[in-house]
Structure 1
């Protein structure tokens, strides 16, 4: 299969353009994130986004897709992920039926050429993103959850935006995808993968930006309640918890307060609704103790 030349897609015109368009897509970004997103598109480099769970790493990829009007293709990583689930596999049942239908009269070379064709190819996220001729955001989510061997599958995609299928040849991207890899840093990624990527570390936002995020996501939230909520969330994150509250959980908490028609987030209300933001009993007990909440 002949190698195809990739066409260039302009994702953002500048860092300021990235800021404006991501915000319009519902993602309130800081300067470093906007600049890195712009550079990832301009340089056609994959973007590795690392940080604790719940700080907006996955949402950044979704926001880029919304801002650019692109299709989002997602590879959710997990322990045991292999080539068949990440790249492609052959439809063996359909191939077997074709061989049986032929009656076995063909030579092996004729049979091989017949069954190893596009008709029998099952594409998975990496290959699907490479083959698309429209703007595409490829999200490789929680890459640190995979085995180290899986990183080898990514290198050809991340380096040359191509996939080699022995039976068909090399398939190169026509329209290079905007690639975002996310990692919760549960393990160190290989230097080979890091070398091919731009790097962005996302942490929890400061109180002012988190308040802006919450109020933008939850229209009608009283400004005083929003400030109280963010203050409590910041204090919770300073505790030694099994799982600190994420931004998404801050938003859920705000929606909870709207549903309960809460006009003042006092200590009793915090204690009553703590399960919205803390999902471990030990974390709730620690928060009640440290924040001196009523039991």
Structure 2
């Protein structure tokens, strides 16, 4: 393997430590693929349910490496003008009128002047190709599954060469490729051609021990008993037949909410009243609130007692 790039982690253990320094507690498989992505200069494609921490990885990388974070939020109808570049047409028209008023009638010269970088509005993908004294930025292409397939196809060329061709100017190529993180919630299948250009990792829900450590790190004000019970409750909740299971983000929100309510342990009435923090669909809430919440709490406490005595 080639020598490590200065500033980047030199091993999987260093990658784990880098993430942990920003309170992101990853498992070793994620740290491994992230390490390889950084060393090989390949985009990292992260797929998984919403709220499991995919976007946060890019934010943590930018913060811990001291790099600029450039985020492209995908949505249906996203086009080149929004994602790559567009011309500042009002400024161009003003420049043309001023040139004509000054007696300039050379159309080729006027066209050359107005189609220069001075009038170019750089969007996220083009911004990511600009050099920086801090090193290449972290480019987050968030929720690629929400973009149209046409844009996904356009992205293939950029990820292959990290180059954009602007007809009026020519090719603009990144002196150093950015660190690229692409996320998908899998609302639709992403084309294989895009995934082949990336290293792939499925970000799943954490196990109980890691989720406990995450809550302790991110919600340190939560009482220890409450932390143990709510993590065990959420772990059990994910095994229920729900339309959308709660992610780690919802676990943290719930820990913060219950702490604000001065809870020291799970209370059935309080759980039912705050299910809207965990669950985002009324059918799911109706399925869990009341007697079902009471049963899940009792099962949670029985499991915790068994673990303590076993």
TM-score of the alignment, normalized to the shorter chain, above 0.5: yes
Go from structure 1 to structure 2 and tell me whether the alpha carbon gap of 1:77 and 1:279 turns closer, same or farther (over 3 Å shift): same
The question of 1:130 aligning with 2:129 is answered: yes
Pick from 64, 68, 73 the counterpart of residue 65 of structure 2.
68
The question of 1:88 aligning with 2:89 is answered: no
- Which residues of structure 2 form unaligned runs of 5+? 296-310
Deviation of the 1:289 alpha carbon: 6.2
TM-score, normalized by length of structure 2? 0.88
Pick from 11, 14, 18 the counterpart of residue 8 of structure 2.
11
Corresponding residue pairs, total: 287
Deviation of the 1:161 alpha carbon: 1.6
Go from structure 1 to structure 2 and tell me whether the alpha carbon gap of 1:246 and 1:99 turns closer, same or farther (over 3 Å shift): same
* 1:102-181 alignment runs, 5 A limit: 102-103=99-100, 105-133=104-132, 134-135=134-135, 136-181=137-182
What root-mean-square deviation, in Å, do the aligned CA atoms of Structure 1 and Structure 2 show?
A: 1.7
**Is this contact kept in 1: 2:70–2:140, CA < 8 A?**
yes
Q: Which has the higher contact order (CA 8 A, sep 6+)?
A: 1
Deviation of the 1:105 alpha carbon: 4.2
Cα distance in 1, alignment partners of residues 144 and 50 from structure 2 = 13
Q: Residue 24 of structure 1 corresponds to which residue in structure 2?
A: 21
Where has structure 1 moved over 4 Å in runs of 4 or more? none
Deviates more, 1:157-166 or 1:66-75: 157-166
- Helix, strand or coil for the counterpart of 1:132? coil
Cα distance in 2, alignment partners of residues 272 and 85 from structure 1 = 42
Cα distance in 2, alignment partners of residues 98 and 192 from structure 1 = 43
Cα distance in 2, alignment partners of residues 239 and 61 from structure 1 = 31
- Which residues of structure 1 form unaligned runs of 5+? 1-7
Deviation of the 1:241 alpha carbon: 2.1
TM-score, normalized by length of structure 1? 0.93
Q: Deviations over 1:244-287 (max 9, x none)?
A: 21211111111112111111113222112212111222111011
**Is this contact kept in 2: 1:131–1:171, CA < 8 A?**
no
Cα distance in 2, alignment partners of residues 85 and 70 from structure 1 = 23
Cα distance in 1, alignment partners of residues 83 and 188 from structure 2 = 20
**Is this contact kept in 2: 1:164–1:171, CA < 8 A?**
yes
Cα distance in 2, alignment partners of residues 198 and 9 from structure 1 = 22
Cα distance in 2, alignment partners of residues 92 and 130 from structure 1 = 23
Cα distance in 2, alignment partners of residues 153 and 88 from structure 1 = 13
**Is this contact kept in 2: 1:10–1:42, CA < 8 A?**
no
